[in-house]
Chains A and B, each alone.
Chain A
Amino acid sequence: MSELKSMSDNTPNSPQLESQQRRRFIGAATATAAGLAIAPGVMLYEVAHGRSEDEAVSSAVRWGMLVDATKCATGCNDCVSACSTENGWTSVAESKHPKQAPQWIRKLELQDPLTQMETNLPMMCQHCAEPPCVDVCPTGASFKRADGIVLVNRHTCIGCRYCMMACPYKARSLVHESLNDTQKPDVPRGIGCVEACTLCVQKIDRGDGNTACAEACTAAGHNALLFGDMNDPESEISKRLRELPTKQVRADLNLNLGVRYHGI
């Protein structure tokens, strides 16, 4: 945000920035209008959270995740196993073809070559506000849902893997082989389609309000993952994001990520 501000100070007449600001203004104006339409005291995000069954998702919500790398434990793989259990994918360790195995989320252990400091963090789809995978998809299968979750519509995915090339985070995988009816009823996935972290969209739509990885991390007592609505100023994640210094991975790409890291 501060970056953008300083940039706009330097180039006040840049047409691109102007249009961005205009968009932001229009967005804010719409949100205010929507907020006004609701009874006094009832905030827009509350309505969006308690979405009724046949109500579409709205951009009043933006789901995101805060990863506290200082709390992420060395050798702990709980988020990965919880994700694979919830979503029914076979992890690299269990796969017959490890190089083809899907990785919706993976643990990375990084070391600073100068100081030898080690950092642990989970890496998954960063749910960009401006996702490159959506830009390159030739069929429109890769898309961003109104509430900020980047998904693959498997009904239109042709498995070309352009999105896998475009993703700076290597977050996507292709299902190479038939899954022979081993899928979870809530998580359809299959041969010839690209897939990635969905922020446990089935759980969100159910109203659980948390992802499997974050639940597992909390259950293990690490509390390194915090999931929530980044548009709601009162949500736990927004409060923490206000307090903690956080980074976006490859912030230089200006993709406005839904996953923010602290301590990297």
Chain B
Amino acid sequence: MKSLLALGVVVLTTAALAWAGSDAQPKAGGAPKPAITKAVKGEQCVEDTDYMRRNHMKVLNQHRDQTVIEGVRSKKHSLKECINCHASEKTGSVAAAKEDFCVSCHSYAAVKIDCFDCHSTKPQGSAAMHPLNAETAHYKHQLAAQATSKVSAEEMARVAQ
């Protein structure tokens, strides 16, 4: 009798939990689920997807300290390489539009990141960030310097002093 009662309690609890669980699921029409598009370049991430979902911030933090302080610029775990693979085909960026790789998850999880206050969201050599060849760029800057004479030489010297 006792064991039957215990069994009943277990069954009820499980049912209740299952019910509660199903209720906790986001309803259709709630926050839009993140649109995770497959990386454009590359087949396999440097770590397992599950691991990266949970730990990408740790991995990135460690690599950033190594890069800034020790000058280690290995490609594995570098933010630049993340961007190279995950930049969207449409915007060429990981954080320009709502559907872009970093933003789509981070807005869903309501976690604000400030990586892109400083870091470029676009891969190197993409159309938007095309590195001008040194000669042309040089010329462009000279032209610009000549064209805009908003600042007088004295003013520049004052700023410099």
Residue A147 CB within 8 A of the other chain: yes
Cβ < 8 Å to A, chain B residues 107-134: 116-124, 129, 131-132, 134
The contact string, 1 if C-beta is below 8 Å from chain B, for chain A 137-173, is: 0000001011100010111000000000000001000
Number of A-B contacts (CB under 8 A): 123
CB of A103 within 8 A of CB of B160, answer yes
CB of A188 within 8 A of CB of B71, answer no
Contacts of B72 in A (CB 8 A): 53-56
CB of B138 within 8 A of CB of A81, answer yes
- Given A155-B64, A186-B124, residue A57 in contact with residue B70 (CB < 8 A): yes
Residue B9 CB within 8 A of the other chain: no
- Given A93-B144, A94-B145, A106-B160, residue A185 in contact with residue B138 (CB < 8 A): no
Q: In the assembly, what is the distance between CA of A153 and CA of B66, in Å?
A: 11
CB of B69 within 8 A of CB of A143, answer yes
Q: Which of B16-24, B48-56, B148-156 contacts A (4 or more CB under 8 A)?
A: B148-156
- Given A77-B145, A94-B148, A184-B129, residue A53 in contact with residue B74 (CB < 8 A): yes
Please name the residue on chain B nearest to A178 by beta carbon. B117
Residue B159 CB within 8 A of the other chain: yes
CB of B71 within 8 A of CB of A56, answer yes
CB of B159 within 8 A of CB of A181, answer no
The contact string, 1 if C-beta is below 8 Å from chain B, for chain A 73-98, is: 00001100110110000011110001
Residue A108 CB within 8 A of the other chain: yes
Residue A237 CB within 8 A of the other chain: no
CB of B93 within 8 A of CB of A85, answer no
CB of B132 within 8 A of CB of A145, answer no
Checking B73, B129, B142 against A53 with a beta-carbon cut-off of 8 angstroms, the contacting residue is B73
- Given A93-B151, A185-B124, residue A145 in contact with residue B138 (CB < 8 A): no
CB of B118 within 8 A of CB of A193, answer yes
CB of A181 within 8 A of CB of B122, answer yes
Q: How far is the CB of A179 from chain B (nearest CB, A)?
A: 8
Q: How far is the CB of B151 from chain A (nearest CB, A)?
A: 5
Contacts of A193 in B (CB 8 A): 118
Contacts of B157 in A (CB 8 A): 109
Please name the residue on chain B nearest to A201 by beta carbon. B71
Q: How far is the CB of B70 from chain A (nearest CB, A)?
A: 4
- Given A93-B145, A94-B144, residue A145 in contact with residue B69 (CB < 8 A): yes
What total of chain A residues lie within 8 Å of the partner, measured CB to CB?
A: 53
- Given A183-B118, A185-B83, A190-B117, residue A153 in contact with residue B144 (CB < 8 A): no
CB of B73 within 8 A of CB of A92, answer no
- Given A53-B74, A103-B159, residue A85 in contact with residue B138 (CB < 8 A): yes
Cβ < 8 Å to B, chain A residues 26-81: 51, 53-57, 77-78, 81
Q: In the assembly, what is the distance between CA of A200 and CA of B71, in Å?
A: 12
CB of B117 within 8 A of CB of A191, answer yes
Contacts of A106 in B (CB 8 A): 156, 160
B residues lining the A interface (CB < 8 Å): 64-66, 68-75, 80, 83, 93, 96, 116-124, 129, 131-132, 134, 137-138, 140-142, 144-145, 148-151, 155-157, 159-161
| With A51-B71, A185-B123, A188-B120 already in contact, 18 other A-B pairs whose C-beta atoms are closer than 8 Å | A53-B74, A54-B72, A92-B159, A93-B148, A94-B144, A98-B159, A106-B156, A109-B157, A145-B71, A146-B70, A184-B129, A185-B80, A185-B122, A185-B124, A185-B129, A186-B80, A193-B118, A205-B73
A residues lining the B interface (CB < 8 Å): 51, 53-57, 77-78, 81-82, 84-85, 91-94, 98-99, 101, 103, 106, 108-109, 123, 143, 145-147, 151, 153-155, 170, 178-179, 181, 183-186, 188-193, 201, 204-206, 215-216, 219
Question: Please, could you name 12 A-B residue pairs with CB atoms under 8 Å apart, sorted by A?
Answer: A54-B72, A56-B66, A77-B145, A93-B145, A98-B159, A146-B71, A154-B68, A154-B118, A181-B93, A184-B120, A186-B124, A188-B119
